[in-house]
Amino acid sequence: MKALLRALVTLLVLVAGWQALVWATGLPRYLLPSPLAVADAMQRQAPLLLTHGLTTLAEILIGLVAGVTLGGVSALLLARFRTARRWLMPLLLVSQAIPVFALAPLLVLWLGYGMASKIAMAVLVIYFPVTTALFDGLRRTDPGWLDLARTMGASPAAILWSIRLPAALPAFWSGVRVAAAVAPIGAVIGEWVGSSSGLGYLMLHANARMQIDLLFAAVLVLGLFAVTLYAAVDALARRALPWQPDTQPAEDANP
Amino acid sequence: MTPLSVTISRARLTYGGTLLFSDLTLELPAGRTTCLLGPSGVGKTTLLRILAGLAEPEPPTQVVTGDGQPLAGRIAYMAQQDLLLPWLTVLDNVLLGDRLRHRRPGPARVEQARALLDRVGLAGRERDRPAALSGGQRQRVALARTLMEDKPLVLMDEPFSALDAITRLRLQETAAETLAGRTVLMVTHDPLEALRIGDRLHVMTGRPAVMGPALEPSGPVPRRVDDPGLLAHQAELLRRLAE
């Protein structure tokens, strides 16, 4: 509760600073709208923001689920099969050398102006962090556990499933946290390149019409999505790993 | 489970071009606890790992069992670390072997695991996670897990060396009582530990290392710490180790 209050105070100070900047410089509304003007735009355009927001939210969530699933399965295959490692690892690394955003126009060309190209974009940005996080985790199993499992006559599949995977879950969830943070970026970039709905589309549209207050409102909604998504994933991760101690210094939690 | 005798003979080990030992023989009589002492780096852990199937034996090393059958799948292993899986409960950790062999533990196995936990003094802690236990308690769970495997040969690699002195003494008693009648090889640094629970003690020293003659202290295990015979033997062992 106290942490929330502190965050609110920080936010209030920032907003007050913003308002003060607008007053002090007298910048016109089409360059820097005041917080009040943004709040006003948010209220007036609520139905519009909601429609476009839902499109973007759907893209983010579907992209996140698909990207995390795909990344998780890839990491497991890489860890289990030497052939997969030898043939796919270099490909995976090289694929990351290509900036995913450069592929956005191509995705729109192939998959169209609808949600599919944005979901594909989100999957592309999510896939690598999840795959590498889980694969790294799977590679770093305590050798003692592996020795023990071998003396117990465990098959490689049983070792992967019962020891290496659970041991790698903390690393996997770190990857999912990163994925949750980058998923909105993927979706919005996709929308910028070509779309007929979504918050990214709304931003471009508002920008072209000098409705900067609406642009700000769209950014705020997107920010809200991102923060909520991150908090949800974080809560999920803590639930999934009750045995994983949080070793952050205790004074952080209890002032 | 009938006890098994195991002999490792003509053992040879080179590490990084250095010969650590060659033509070494270690006999593990059936139903007895053999302790292997020696300074760090002498190769005693490697001997144990060869028996455990965790290290490839270097030719011409030979492992021969009393019944002529291969040793694979017939050993239980206990290490210096408890190696408990933090995401499993104490009970599930004891039943880990079944789970890894894709055998859903039936009520009889679960009951057996509970009985073993009771025997090592952890009744009532079945549902706890390892993080809730002290170092000594965790090693007791590891001992229960080793006994649960119920294998003809038990291999222990410095199982109690990470514990404090008093906890170690108590665990040695539990181990000696629960392992009685099994073939056990225990690698240790601690002469007192070997003297408390070992039937036969070997000291491995030198480079290349040689296996000292077996020392067989008298009296039933676990022997008392203040046993005068034990103290005399300890002095003798320390002298051999320092050679």
CB contact, 8 Å: A156 with chain B? no
What is the reported pLDDT for A248? 61
More confident residue, A255 or A26: A26
Q: Identify all chain A residues contacting B100, using CB atoms and an 8 Å cutoff.
A: 149, 152-154, 158-159, 162-163
Residue B105, preceding bond cis, omega within 30 degrees? Answer: no
Residue B194 near residue B37 (C-beta atoms within 8 A): yes
Residue A54 lies in a domain: yes
- B207 vs B48 pLDDT, higher one: B48
Nearest CA in chain A to B150: A152
Architecture of the domain whose range is B1-74+152-243:
3-Layer(aba) Sandwich (3.40)
- Over residues A216-225, the mean pLDDT reads 91
Q: State the first-to-last Cα distance of chain A, in angstroms, to the nearest integer.
A: 12
| Nearest chain B Cα distance for residue A249, angstroms | 18
**If you count residue pairs, one on A and one on B, with CB atoms under 8 Å apart, how many are there?**
57
Residue A255: per-residue pLDDT: 42
- The dihedrals phi and psi of A250, each to the nearest 5 degrees, come to -60, -25
Q: Which candidate from A151, A169, A245 shows the least CB-CB separation from B52?
A: A151
Average pLDDT over every residue of B178-195: 87
| A 162-181 residues inside an 8 A Cβ radius of B | 162-163, 166-167, 169
* CA distances in angstroms from A193 to A125, B7, B148, listed in the order given: 16, 73, 62
In this prediction, residue A56 carries a pLDDT of: 93
Cβ atoms of B66 and B88 within 8 Å: the answer is no
Is residue A1, in this structure, part of any structural domain at all? no
* Residue A17 included in any domain: no
pLDDT digits (tens, 9 = 90+) for B138-149: 988 998 999 888
Spatial separation of the C-alpha atoms in residues A133 and B4, rounded to whole Å: 46
- Residue numbers in B near A246 (CB within 8 A): none
Of A144, A151, A155, the CB nearest to B75: A151
Do the Cβ atoms of B177 and B222 come closer than 8 Å? Answer: yes
- What's A117-174 look like in SS3? HHHHHHHHHHHHHHHHHHHHHHHCCCHHHHHHHHHCCCCHHHHHHHHHHHHHHHHHHH
How many domains does chain A divide into? 1
Please check whether residue A162 lies inside any domain of the structure.
Answer: yes
Contact between chains at A243 and B87 (C-beta distance less than 8 A)? yes
What is the dihedral sign for C-alpha B230, B231, B232, B233?
positive
> Which residues have CB under 8 Å from A158's CB, separation 6+?
A149, B100, B101, B102
Residues 45-104 of A with CB under 8 A from B: none
How far is it, in rounded angstroms, from Cα A44 to Cα A29? 16
Nearest one of A131, A232, A223, A231 to A185, comparing CA atoms: A223
Q: Is residue A130 part of a domain?
A: yes
Over residues A54-98, the pLDDT tens digits come to: 999 999 999 999 999 999 999 999 988 888 888 888 888 887 788
CA atoms of B131 and B216, how far apart (whole Å): 39
Which of A141, A146, A152, A169 would you mutate first to test chain B, the one with the most B CBs within 10 A? A152
The rounded mean pLDDT for chain A is 88
**pLDDT at residue A253 is higher than 60:** no
Of residues A1 and A134, more confidence is placed in A134
Report the DSSP pairing between strands B153-157 and B183-188. parallel
Give pairs for B64-69: CB < 8 Å, separation 24+. B64/B6, B64/B7, B64/B8, B64/B9, B65/B4, B65/B5, B65/B6, B65/B7, B66/B4, B66/B5, B66/B6, B66/B30, B67/B4
Q: Where are the domains of chain B?
A: 1-74+152-243, 85-150
Taking CB atoms and an 8 Å limit, are B100 and A158 in contact across chains?
A: yes
Best of A148, A162, A172 to substitute, by most chain B Cβ atoms within 10 angstroms, is: A148
B15 DSSP β-pair partners: B18
pLDDT exceeds 90 at position B231: no
Read off the pTM: 0.82
pLDDT of A246 above 70:
no
| C-alpha to C-alpha distance for A56 and A218, rounded to whole angstroms | 11
Q: Which domain holds residue A159?
A: 35-240
Task: Establish if A151 touches chain B: CB-CB under 8 angstroms.
Answer: yes
Nearest chain B alpha carbon to A145? B83
List residues of chain B with CB under 8 Å from any CB of chain A: 52-54, 73, 75-77, 79, 81, 83, 85-87, 96-97, 99-102, 129, 131, 149, 155
Which residue of chain B is at minimal alpha-carbon distance from A159? Answer: B100
Q: Work out whether strand B6-15 and strand B18-28 pair parallel, antiparallel, or are unpaired.
A: antiparallel
Q: Give the position of tokens 């795959």.
A: A131
* CATH code (residue A158): 1.10.3720.10
Query: pLDDT tens digits, residue range B54-91?
Result: 888 888 888 888 887 888 888 899 988 899 999 999 99
Instruction: Please state the ipTM of this predicted complex.
Output: 0.88
Q: Classify residue A16: in a domain, yes or no.
A: no
A149/B contact by beta carbon, under 8 A: yes
Measure in Å the smallest separation between the Cα of A167 and chain B Cα atoms: 8
